[in-house]
Amino acid sequence: MTKPFRRAALAALLLGVSAVAVQAEMMAPTAPPEAPKFDAQGEPIYVNRADIYEFKALPAYSEPAWVKAFVDAGKLPPVAERLPKEPLVYKTANMPDGNGVYGDVMRHVIGGRPEGWNFWAGQSYGWGGIDIGLVECLTRTGPLFQVNAADLQPLPNLARSWEWAADGKSLTVHLIEGAKWSDGDPFDTEDIDFYWNDIVMDPDATPLMGASQETYGAGTTLDIIDAYTFKMNFQTAFPESVLYAMAYGNFCPGPAHVLKPAHPKYGGKDYQSFHDAFPADMMNFPTMGAWAVVEHRPDDIVVTRRNAYYWKVDEAGQQLPYLDEVHFRLSTWGDRDVQAVAGTGDFSNLEQPENFVESLKKAAEEASPARLAFGPRSIGYQLFFNLSGNGWGEPDARGQAVRELNRSLDFRKAVTYAIDRQRIGDSLVKGPFTSQYAGGLLTSTSYYDAGSTVFYPFSTESAKEALAAAGLTDSDGNGFVNLAGGDDLNVTLLTNADYATDKNIAEGVVAMMADVGVKVTLNSLGGKDYDNARESGKHDWYIRRNDQEFVSVVQGVNRLAPTGPAISTWHYANAAGELDLLPYEQQMVDAIAAFNGTQDAAVRGDAMKAYQKTFTENVNAVGLTAYPGALIINKRFANIPAGAPIFMYNWAEDNIIRERVYVPADKQIGAELHPGELPGKLGEATVKAE
Ligand code: BQZ
């Protein structure tokens, strides 16, 4: 034993305290523990983007016979006039089961509820694939799971092509020409101009997924060139992440012809009226999606019918979608799993481990109506600290004291040491599914590097040491550490009440924090209230299932750190626009800038290693658990791509490309609720041919 240790040991013996306790130090961080081996079932068939679809004119087009009846009755232009000059053509060779036949329905079950149809003023449609089906965007990334790494770049969509200026400081984008909204109104740069200038750049109009100027890079501007061409101008060269920020959730223009009149800038009363202008009982809101909403029975079902102006076809010239109707049963996320394996629903992202065993058992039965396939370990939960120290979310004195502690590495270390990740995973499901997650990038992304990932192992002793280092001790002996003023430290933990998994994980965290003397109180809110609380800074800590950026890096890369005043919901700027980044946060922001500022793969890889080391070493968030999800799809559907993950660049509702999914005639179940009907005009009923 060294001399100092001996002296301390002697002193300790005299004081009757174990030498180790006196000399106790926090356990050294380690490399993340090996995840239990779990192979995804089914590999994608890797192709290049050009193998999936192209834009071109075909000699002839066709449509379902019942839609042709509308043309014959003079209620609809001929299909060739409803399609763009060069529609998006899905290549048959990339369709697992070839060109499809018309008819039938896909029955989704979802846990959210439509608030209204103004996605561009922040209204949620209830998730679960409604918005993904109705709100099409300039580029598309969901299907990228099947694209060769060497060809990885967002797919064209409403933007059919683009080219960078030689200096990389601008991008000229060409829209598909001649596409129409579901009410026949032309889609063109009027929609782009309104989306950019009156939604993205208008601080009082925030779209649902929060796109702001910084989403496209600080200082980015947009110029309209002509009806189908616009140009984006950047402060840095070749910000390729912009192409991902033109995909779902970010650059998804709305129908300017109905939104503009309600916008305060164009005669609308005010922003609240703009937000409320298209309530959930208003049908047939114009869409560029394959289906439009024709019925909404609150807390029961949303029914969508095919959009007769949809701008995509198969190589035989059949206008898509093949499915005439899509349902969204308004239930719970857990019920989605139950109904999918029972066959009363058709689709689920099995993402709550509590349902794994039962779902696996049911799907394994010979007579099971559904097939179930696990994908990569791409679902991850983290605990985030509100890192604002300058007033974001208007904290009271208690809240401010917690935030100041959150900004202390010792305090964040105390939290991460206190968490037994193995126990959290086992509490959800036993078996090889869950893994101990260090936080930051998930192992499922090619940018993940174990050598750059710092893992603080479970150690209540180290947690208590770290609390003491943060100045927190139990001064009144009631088992909970006290703030300087003598009150117990009391932290609120915000979680999403819509998922059993979120609640179970949160309850585990509360118990483990109590074991080290930190009092944590749960604040469990329903999805929209949870999202609002997260985005308004009304939280001390929150638990969140990762969004795309931690799973794929390239989709939402700017959200990996507070790269702008309102980007990462663990740290926004205050009302004065001041973003009080901690030094390590600035390092993460710099790593993302380095990633965005180059096309060199090696430099991008290094930037992500630097990011991951900074994030995990500084415990920017506490990784909790990570596990694979499984796609559950009814067996009657054809054209489901092999190896489609439930979550990667986007959710499976996007990844499986629903507009080219079909049901062979002999397997159709005749479950349409509005057979023979097409969406009508905004606010009106559906229409029939006769
Ligand atoms: C998938 C997804 C499709 C949002 C939502 C929901 C919101 C979040 C998140 C998922 C649901 C399903 O996730 O859980 O499996 O169908 O909809 O959009 O959790 O509360 O705000 O980020 O995607």
* Inside any domain, residue 457: yes
Number of Cβ within 10 Å of residue 229's Cβ equals 17
Check if the beta carbon of residue 235 is closer than 8 Å to that of residue 219: yes
Tell me what pLDDT residue 599 has.
87
pLDDT of residue 15: 44
How many Cβ atoms sit within 10 Å of the Cβ of residue 413? 24
For the segment 523-545, the average pLDDT, to the nearest whole number, is 96
Cα of 351 from ligand 1 centre, angstroms? 10
- For residue 362, how far is its CA from the centre of ligand 1 (angstroms)? 24
* pTM for the model: 0.94
Atom 9 in ligand 1: residue holding the nearest Cα: 127
- Closest ligand 1 atom to residue 527 Cα is 20
Per cent of the chain over pLDDT 70 is: 97
47 CA to centre of ligand 1 in angstroms: 27
Query: What is d(CA 249, CA 566) in angstroms, rounded to the nearest whole number?
Result: 16
- Same domain (yes/no): 211, 294: yes
Could you tell me if 420 and 519 lie in one domain?
Answer: yes
Helix (H) or strand (E) holding 161: strand 159-164
Residue 484 burial (CB count, 10 A): 9
CA of 352 to the centre of ligand 1 (A): 12
Contacts of 328 (CB under 8 A, 6+ apart): 108, 109, 110, 126, 128, 129, 130, 301, 302, 303, 304
Q: What is the mean pLDDT of residues 155-172?
A: 97
User: Which tokens go with 367?
Assistant: 């007579």
pLDDT of 520 reads 98
Q: On the CB side of 587, how many CA atoms lie within 13 Å of its CA?
A: 15
Tell me the best of 651, 656, 658 to mutate to test the pocket of ligand 1, counting ligand atoms within 8 Å of each CB and taking the most.
Answer: 651
Alpha carbon of 245 to those of 53, 105, 210, 289: distances in Å?
Answer: 21, 31, 11, 19
Taking the C-alpha atoms of residue 415 and residue 381, their distance in angstroms, rounded to an integer, is: 15
The string of DSSP codes covering 411-457 is HHHHHHHH--HHHHHHHH--SSS-EE--SSS-TTSTT--GGG--B--
Residues 111, 333 contacting (CB under 8 angstroms): yes
pLDDT number for residue 23: 44
If one counts the domains in the chain, the total is: 2
Note whether residue 327 is domain-resident. Answer: yes
Q: Is the CB of residue 588 less than 8 Å from the CB of residue 560?
A: yes
| Domain co-membership, 328 together with 469 | no
Q: Are residues 394 and 503 in the same domain?
A: yes
- The last residue of one of the domains, among 627, 660, 681, is 627
pLDDT(51) > 50 = yes
- CATH number for position 419: 3.10.105.10
Atom nearest to 496 CA in ligand 1: 20
Q: Given the DSSP bridges, would you call strands 630-634 and 347-350 parallel, antiparallel or unpaired?
A: antiparallel
Please provide the DSSP assignment of 573-587 as one string.
--TT------HHHHH
Smallest CA separation from ligand 1 atom 22, residue: 547
Residue 430 lies in a domain: yes
Please tell me the distance between residue 108's alpha carbon and the centre of ligand 1 in angstroms. 13
pLDDT band at 375 (very low <50, low <70, confident <90, very high): very high
Residue nearest to atom 3 of ligand 1 (CA): 128
**Could you identify the atom of ligand 1 that is nearest to the CA of residue 646?**
15
Give the ligand 1 atom nearest the CA of 629: 15
Give the structural domain span for 395.
378-627
Distance 431 CA to ligand 1 centre (A): 25
Work out the number of other CB atoms within 10 angstroms of the CB of residue 499.
Answer: 21
281-310 b/e (C-beta count within 10 Å ≥ 16 → b): ebbbbbbbbbbbbbbbeeeebbbbbbbbbb
Nearest residue by C-alpha to atom 11 in ligand 1 = 128
Domain presence at residue 248: yes
**Same domain assignment for residues 142 and 257:** yes
- Say whether pLDDT at 17 is over 80: no
Q: Is residue 397 located within the same domain as residue 288?
A: no
The amino acid that residue 590 corresponds to is: D
Q: What is the pLDDT of residues 86-113, one digit of tens each?
A: 999 999 999 999 999 999 999 999 999 9
Dist CA 138 CA 230 (whole Å): 12
Specify the DSSP class assigned to residue 329.
E
The last residue of a domain, from among 593, 627, 661: 627
Residue 128 Rama label (left phi>0; alpha psi -120 to 50; beta): left
| b/e sequence 637-669, b meaning 16+ C-beta within 10 Å | bbbbbebbbbbbbbbbbbbbbbbbbbbeeeebe
Residue with CA nearest ligand 1 atom 20: 527
Tell me how far apart the alpha carbons of residues 581 and 410 are, in angstroms, rounded to a whole number: 17
CA distance 434 to 421: 9
Alpha carbons 284 and 354: distance in angstroms, whole number: 37
**CA 631, CA 347: separation in Å to the nearest integer?**
8
Distance 495 CA to ligand 1 centre (A): 14
Which of 657, 590, 653, 618 shows the shortest CA–CA distance to 236? 590
Written as one letter, the residue type at 466 is A
**359 occurs within a structural domain:** no
**CA 88 / ligand 1 centre spacing (Å):** 27
% of the chain residues with pLDDT over 90: 92
Q: Does 21 have pLDDT greater than 60?
A: no
pLDDT in tens, 414-465: 999 999 999 999 999 999 999 999 999 999 999 999 999 999 999 999 999 9
Interior/surface letters 35-58, b for 16+ CB within 10 angstroms, e for the rest: beebebebebeebebebbbbbeeb
Residues 499 and 479 in one domain: yes
Number of the ligand 1 atom closest to the C-alpha atom of 129: 3
Mean pLDDT, to the nearest integer, of 227-248? 95
**Which residues fall within 8 angstroms of residue 57, CB to CB, at 6 or more apart?**
85, 86, 87
Asked if pLDDT for residue 4 goes beyond 80, the answer is no
* Length, in residues, of the chain: 690
- Label residue 150 exposed, middle or buried (CB < 10 Å: 0-12, 13-18, 19+): exposed
Cα-to-centroid distance, 128 and ligand 1 (Å): 6
pLDDT, tens digit, 9 for 90 and up, residues 646-660:
999 999 999 999 999
Tell me the mean pLDDT in the region 530-559. 96
Q: What pLDDT is attached to residue 40? A: 85
Residues 602 and 643 in one domain: no
Residue after which a domain boundary falls, among 595, 627, 659: 627
**Nearest alpha carbon, ligand 1 atom 21:** 531
625-637 residue pLDDT tens:
999 999 999 999 9
- Residue 368 domain flag: no
Tell how strand 541-545 and strand 325-330 pair up: unpaired
Name the residue of 127, 141, 252, 549 whose CB sits within 8 Å of the most ligand 1 atoms, as the mutation to test its pocket.
127
d(CA 572, CA 580) in angstroms, rounded, equals 9
341 occurs within a structural domain: yes
pLDDT score recorded for residue 358? 95
pLDDT at 7 over 80: no
What's the rounded mean pLDDT across residues 118-126?
A: 97
| Residue of the CA atom closest to atom 10 of ligand 1 | 128
Q: DSSP letters of 171-224?
A: EEEEEPSS-B-TTSPBPSHHHHHHHIIIIIS-TT---TT---GGGG-TT-EEEE
Residue 404 lies in a domain: yes
Whether residues 319 and 466 fall in one domain: no
The answer on 340 and 193 residing in a single domain is yes
Biggest CA–CA distance in the chain, Å, is 100
Confidence of residue 685 (pLDDT cuts 50, 70, 90): confident
Ligand 1 mean position to 504 CA, how many Å? 18
- The protein residue with its alpha carbon nearest to ligand 1, atom 15, reads 349
**Residue minimizing CA distance to atom 4 of ligand 1:** 127
Same domain, 505 and 447: yes
Q: What is the pLDDT of residues 321-357, one digit of tens each?
A: 999 999 999 999 999 999 999 999 999 999 999 999 9
Residue partners of 601: CB distance under 8 A and separation at least 6: none
Contact by Cβ (8 Å): 315, 62: no
Question: In the structure, which protein residues have their CB atom closer than 6 angstroms to any atom of ligand 1?
Answer: 127-129, 132, 333, 349, 351, 527, 531, 547, 651, 653
CATH number (domain holding residue 656): 3.40.190.10
Which helix (H) or strand (E) segment holds residue 326: the answer is: strand 325-330
Label residue 249 by pLDDT band (50, 70, 90).
Answer: confident
Q: Are residues 454 and 485 in the same domain?
A: yes
Looking at the DSSP bridge assignments, the partners of residue 159 are 175
450 Cα–ligand 1 center, Å: 28
CB 332 within 8 Å of CB 501: no
Q: What is the pLDDT, as a whole number, of residue 255?
A: 98
Q: pLDDT averaged over the chain?
A: 95
**What distance in angstroms lies between residue 209's CA and the mean position of ligand 1's atoms?**
12
| 127 Cα: distance to centroid of ligand 1 (angstroms) | 5
**pLDDT band at residue 10 using 50, 70 and 90 as cut-offs:** low
329 contacts 174 by C-beta, under 8 angstroms? no
Q: In whole angstroms, what is the distance from residue 547 CA to residue 568 CA?
A: 11
List, for residues 395-414, the tens digit of each pLDDT value: 999 999 999 999 999 999 99
